């Protein structure tokens, strides 16, 4: 496989209830596992979890990103895993984060948009949606850097 830097963006639906008290614990577990594995594989990125939907950006060597995404596709905490974009990319948007957490503040407009996409995947313009999510997640991570966790 190529050793080029790649960026992957996907969305998925959570298998746990968003109102369930364990949702925060599940996210904490996902972040801890992701940060350890990503650091080991040289992958960076960001995770957004809002209203029962995940959005994630993974950046790194192609084989490492593919390895992580394959595990996500099989992860019982996710369903309707939908790849938006996977392409060569430099520079990294989240170079200092093995997995930044963009929080849960995407808002109802974004979660409605994601729900609509997952309901009708054939209508997805992955490049456009990927760009929009990347901008949103970058802003949310930047805001959390300013405000603190």
Q: Are 83 and 3 in contact (CB under 8 A)?
A: no
And the tokens for 79? 């369903």
Question: Residue 138: its pLDDT value, please?
Answer: 73
What is the CATH classification number for the domain harbouring 140?
Answer: 3.30.70.100
State the virtual CA torsion across 130, 81, 101, 30 in degrees, nearest 10. -160
| Residues spanned by the domain of 98 | 5-147
And the tokens for 140? 């949310």
Low-confidence ranges of the chain (pLDDT < 50): 1-2, 146, 148-149
d(CA 102, CA 32): 14
Backbone angles phi, psi at 13, to 5 degrees: -105, 140
Residue 52's H or E segment, with its range, is none
**What total number of domains does the chain contain?**
1
Question: Residue 42: its pLDDT value, please?
Answer: 96
pLDDT digits (tens, 9 = 90+) for 87-120: 898 788 888 888 888 766 556 666 676 666 666 6
Question: Residue 1: its pLDDT value, please?
Answer: 40
């Amino acid at each position: 496989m190529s050793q080029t830097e790649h960026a992957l963006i996907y969305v998925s639906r959570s298998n746990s209830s968003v109102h369930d008290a364990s949702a925060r614990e599940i996210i904490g577990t996902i972040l801890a596992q992701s940060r350890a594995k990503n650091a080991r594989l040289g992958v960076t990125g960001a995770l957004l979890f809002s209203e029962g939907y995940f959005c994630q950006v993974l950046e790194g060597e192609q084989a490492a990103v593919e390895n992580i995404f394959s595990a996500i596709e099989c992860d019982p905490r996710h369903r309707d895993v939908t790849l938006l974009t996977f392409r060569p990319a430099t520079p990294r948007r989240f170079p200092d984060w093995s997995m930044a957490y963009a929080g849960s503040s995407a808002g109802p407009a974004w979660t409605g948009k994601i729900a609509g996409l997952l309901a009708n995947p054939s209508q997805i313009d992955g490049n456009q949606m990927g760009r929009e999510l990347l901008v949103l997640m970058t802003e949310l991570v930047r805001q959390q850097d300013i405000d603190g966790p």
